[in-house]
Every structure is written in structure tokens, then in C-alpha cells.
Amino acid sequence: MNHSITVQRFGIRLRPVTPEDAEFIFALRRNPLLNAYIGEFNDQFSVHANWLKRYFEREGDYYFIVETARSRIPAGTIAIYNRDGDTAEWGRFVIVPPYPAAPASVWLMYHVAFDVLGLAKMYCRTVIDNKHVVSFHDHCGALRTAVEPKAITIKGVAMDWIVHTVTSDRWPLVSKRLEPAAVTAERFIEEVT
């Protein structure tokens, strides 16, 4: 979806994805160090570029590049999508090492969802074997609200998802839990850039 939402805090900036980001996003999805828990996708760039072109025509889909605030170096992606009234899903979350951008980018994403878009509920789905990310959601205060058996196929294997949910009334708690990690990470982001 073409949108103009740009937010920045903790040394990280979220800005709208553009067609020029297609190669960066494609490289993220193909990186074997980053794609262990990403579902099946066609590895032809033209298919990916066409998907991105169609994205700009969809309503309620906010796709962001995560980048360093000072140097504008792309560090990953995050998105809000599948919006249904005041509820939406978030995902497409991939961060490139060595940038410790996860706490800040998730904080910024929730800020957009609850404070800018006025949503009441956000949920995300994480492959159950992705213990690091499942723990991240648990630690930041997102509630485990479901397990979806064999919901995603990765490298030919059906895997379960854990669904985490954050409501707008829980957002202040989640914000409070994410902020210390985001502040700490900001110092490392400045060193890397």
C-alpha cells in the first residue's frame, strides 16, 4: 500500500517500502542465515518484484524498511497487514546482523499500529521452533493466544505457529518492556553506523 508513515526513535527509522527496495528485500528472504523460519517462496526475482508491485495496490498493508536513523542503512523489514477493522497482523520481520534493531523496530511498529493507525489489537505468528523470537514476544509482554498446528510449510515440512497478541490497553506495558532494550541497542547501532 502506498503510504507516507515514517517514524523514528532509538536510532532506528521505519519508512515505507519503495519499488527500489525490491532487491534488498529479495536478498533478505534468500539469505540462509535469516530465512530459516520464513515460509516457502518462489526464488525468481521477477515473481518477487511482481508481488511487491501488487503490494502497492492493497489497502491496509503497511510495509516498512527498517533502517538506521543517522546513516539510513537498511537493516531489515517489518509490516502491518491483514487489517480487519481495528485488528491487524504484523510480520515480514527480518533484521540483518550486526544491527540490534529488533526492540526498536517492534516498538516503532506497535507505535504506528496503536498511536498512528488507532488499532485495538495486533497479533503475530511465529514458527514454534523459532525459540529466540517466541521468547522475545513473551518477554516484551505479548500474550500467547493460540497455537496453529501445521500452519506453515518451510522446506517441505509443515510447522506449527504460536500466535502472540497485544491489545491497545496492553501497549503501555509492552512499550515499557521494549524501551530498555531499545535504548541499550541504540548505542550499538550508533557504533555500527
Give the pLDDT confidence of 141-162 residue by residue, as tens digits: 999 999 999 999 998 899 999 9
Q: How confident is the model at residue 78 (pLDDT cuts 50, 70, 90)?
A: very high
Query: Does residue 174 form part of some domain?
Result: yes
Q: What are phi and psi of 37, to 5 degrees?
A: -120, 25
pLDDT at position 70 over 80: yes
CATH code at position 36? 3.40.630.30
Q: Is pLDDT above 70 for 32?
A: yes
The domain in which residue 115 lies consists of: 7-192
Arithmetic mean of pLDDT, 103-116: 98
| d(C-alpha 155, C-alpha 129), whole Å | 14
Is 2 a member of any domain?
Answer: no
Q: Answer whether residue 1 is part of any domain.
A: no
Domain contains 150: yes
| pTM to 2 decimal places | 0.95
Domain count, the chain: 1
